[in-house]
Chain A
Amino acid sequence: MRTLLSLHDVGLQFGAVRALAGVNLHLQAGERLALVGSNGSGKSSLLRVLHGLLRPGTGTVQSATRLRQAMVFQRPFMLRASVRNNVALGMWLAGTRWRDACGAALQGLERVGMQGLAARNARALSAGQQQRVALARAWVLRPELWLLDEPTASLDPHAKREIEALMASFAQGEGGRAMTMVFASHNLGQVKRLASRVVYLEQGRILADLPVGEFFNAQRLRQVSGAADLFVKGELA
C-alpha cells in the first residue's frame, strides 16, 4: 500500500496550549481513518496539519508528491453567491478556467443531489444542504485524500444520514481510484460505520491507533489505552 502522508514526532503549540505532541502517523492510500477524542484533544489541529493549514512547531510532515487533497469543515463557508459559483470557486482557485469550473460544478452538484439548486443563493440553504455543497466543492477537485472536520456535528439527524451516505459513497472510490479519508467525529456509531482505522487523541497525543474492529473490542482497547477505553465507554453509555 502507498503511504500518502507521514507525520514524524509532530508537535504544535498555541501559546501556552499544547495542541499536538509527539504525533507519529502514517496514512496509507485507501484508508478511512477516524480521529476521535474529547473536545480540545487535537483532532482539528491534526487535520489542519495534515492539510497544511497549520505548520507544526516540531517534527516533520512528509506527503506523496502531487497529492490532491480537499478539506471539509464543520460549518462550511458559503460566499454570497450562487450554489454553482460556490462549487466552481474551488476549481477556479486550483487553476481551472472559470467556464470549465462552472461546468464541473454542475457535475459536482449532481453527484451530491443538489443540481436543482444550482442557481440558488448558497447562504439561503439549510446547514445540511450547505454541507452537501461543501462536499461537492471538494469532490470536483478529485482529491485522493479527503479531510473532514466533524462534517455532521451541527446537522439534524436526517441531514446527518445524508452526509454520512455521501461520505460512504466517496470512500468507495471512483473510476478505479482509491479514496483516502480522514475524518474527525464524536459519533462513534458513525466511526463504526465509516472507518477502517481509528486514532484516539487526548491532550494532543495519540493514545490508541487501531483497526476499527480492534478499537471497538473493549478488551483489546483496554490493553492499548485505558483512557481510550474509558472514552468509548463514556460515549456509548
Chain B
Amino acid sequence: MSTFSQSAATALHLITSFDPALWAIVGRSLLVSGLACLLAFGFGLSLGAWLGVARFRGRAIGLTLLNTLLAVPSVVVGLVVYLLLSRSGPLGAWGWLFSIKAMVLAQALLVLPVVAALTRQVVEDTERAHGEQLRSLGAGTALRAAMLAWDERFALLTVLIAAFGRAISEVGAVMIVGGNIDGFTRVMTTSIALETSKGDLPLALGLGLVLLAVVLLLNALIASLRAWRQRVESGSIPIWAGSAA
C-alpha cells in the first residue's frame, strides 16, 4: 500500500475509534474558531452594515483600508497580536499569550475584515435598491443598517461560512500566539503542520479529513437553510400561523 492509502486507513481508524487525542484537538479547533467567528460576526456585521448605509467624508478611504485588510496574511495578524500581548506589549498585563484567549483574539481579528467587507457589500447593494423606501418610512441610518442586514440574513450566512473557513484553516496566527502547546493550545492546523514535520502522517491526514468534514457539514447546513428559505419565499410555507382575521 502507498503511504497515502496507509495514512488514510489509519486516519479513518483514528476517527471511527474516537481517538481521544484527535478529538480533543478537533474540539479545541472548533471552540477557538467558533468563538472567534462569533466575536468577529458581532463586530464585523455591525460595522459592515453601518458602512453599507452610512455616507460620510472619508468613507471611500475607509472602504479601501477595509478591503486591503482582507488580504492580510495570518502570520502578520499573529505577529501584531503577539506584540500586543507579549509581556512588554500594551496588553501584556492580561497574561493571554500562549492561551486559547489569545488564539480567539487573533482569529477574530483575522476574520473581522472578511465579515465587515462582505457584509458591507451585501447591505450596500440592498440599500442602493431599496434604502430609499425605508427612508421614506422614516428609518434612520442605524435602523436601516440593522433592517437591511436582517433582511439579507440568508446571504450573510455565506459570509459566516467564508469567515469560519478562513478561521479554522489558518495556521500562522494561532501558531504564533498559541504556541502549539500539546493538550492546551494545539489545534487541527498547527497539529497537522507538526505531525507532518514529525512524519506522523496518519494523524496529520486524519485531522485533515476531519477539517474537511467540518466544513462540509457546515456547508450542508447552510444549503438546507437556503432550501428552506426558498420554500418560504415561494409561499409554500407561511411565515407565521396566526389568524389573519
Q: List 27 A-B contacts (CB under 8 A).
A: A70-B136, A71-B136, A73-B136, A77-B129, A77-B130, A79-B147, A80-B151, A80-B233, A82-B238, A84-B244, A85-B239, A89-B137, A90-B137, A93-B137, A93-B143, A106-B244, A115-B245, A117-B244, A119-B244, A120-B238, A121-B235, A121-B238, A121-B239, A124-B233, A124-B234, A125-B235, A137-B137
- Closest partner residue, chain B, to A80 (CB atom): B151
Cβ–Cβ contact B242 & A119, under 8 A: yes
Cβ–Cβ contact A120 & B133, under 8 A: no
State which residues 142-190 of B face A: CB under 8 Å: 143, 147, 151, 153-154
Cβ–Cβ contact B233 & A73, under 8 A: no
Cβ–Cβ contact A119 & B137, under 8 A: no
Cβ–Cβ contact A82 & B239, under 8 A: yes
A70 partner residues in chain B, CB cutoff 8 A: 136
B133 partner residues in chain A, CB cutoff 8 A: 71, 73, 76-77
Cβ–Cβ contact B136 & A120, under 8 A: no
B65 partner residues in chain A, CB cutoff 8 A: none
| Shortest Cβ gap from B131 to chain A (Å) | 9
- Closest partner residue, chain B, to A102 (CB atom): B242
Given contacts A76-B133, A79-B147, contact A118 B244 (CB under 8 A): yes
Cα–Cα, bound, A73→B132 (Å): 10
* List of 6 A-B pairs having minimum Cβ-Cβ separation, nearest first: A124-B235, A118-B244, A77-B130, A82-B239, A77-B133, A93-B138
Cα–Cα, bound, A90→B179 (Å): 54
Please list the residues of chain A having a beta carbon within 8 angstroms of any beta carbon in chain B.
48, 51, 53, 70-71, 73, 76-77, 79-82, 84-85, 89-90, 93-94, 106, 109, 115-121, 123-125, 137
- B135 CB–A CB distance under 8 Å: yes
- Beyond A80-B154, A93-B139, A119-B242: 11 further Cβ-contacts under 8 Å? A53-B136, A77-B133, A80-B233, A85-B239, A94-B137, A118-B242, A119-B239, A120-B239, A121-B237, A124-B233, A124-B235
Total A-B contacts with CB atoms under 8 angstroms apart? 69
Q: How many chain B residues have a CB neighbour from A under 8 Å? A: 27
Cα–Cα, bound, A51→B154 (Å): 32
Cα–Cα, bound, A89→B147 (Å): 11
Cα–Cα, bound, A80→B135 (Å): 17
| Shortest Cβ gap from A139 to chain B (Å) | 13
B 206-243 to A, binary, CB cutoff 8 A, 1 in contact else 0: 00000000000000000000000000111101111110
- B134 CB–A CB distance under 8 Å: yes
Given contacts A82-B240, A94-B138, contact A53 B233 (CB under 8 A): no
Please list the residues of chain B having a beta carbon within 8 angstroms of any beta carbon in chain A.
129-130, 132-139, 143, 147, 151, 153-154, 232-235, 237-242, 244-245
Cα–Cα, bound, A121→B237 (Å): 8
| Shortest Cβ gap from B245 to chain A (Å) | 7
A93 partner residues in chain B, CB cutoff 8 A: 137-139, 143
B238 partner residues in chain A, CB cutoff 8 A: 82, 119-121
B154 partner residues in chain A, CB cutoff 8 A: 80
B232 partner residues in chain A, CB cutoff 8 A: 121, 124
Cβ–Cβ contact A51 & B136, under 8 A: yes
A81 partner residues in chain B, CB cutoff 8 A: 239
A89 partner residues in chain B, CB cutoff 8 A: 137
| Shortest Cβ gap from A33 to chain B (Å) | 18
B237 partner residues in chain A, CB cutoff 8 A: 121
- Closest partner residue, chain A, to B242 (CB atom): A119
B240 partner residues in chain A, CB cutoff 8 A: 82, 119
Cα–Cα, bound, A106→B244 (Å): 7
A73 partner residues in chain B, CB cutoff 8 A: 132-133, 136
In this complex, the member of A51, A80, A90 whose beta carbon has the largest number of chain B beta carbons within 10 angstroms is A80
Cα–Cα, bound, A8→B127 (Å): 31
B143 partner residues in chain A, CB cutoff 8 A: 93
| Shortest Cβ gap from A52 to chain B (Å) | 9
| Shortest Cβ gap from B78 to chain A (Å) | 39
A106 partner residues in chain B, CB cutoff 8 A: 244-245
A125 partner residues in chain B, CB cutoff 8 A: 235
| Shortest Cβ gap from B140 to chain A (Å) | 9
- Closest partner residue, chain B, to A79 (CB atom): B151
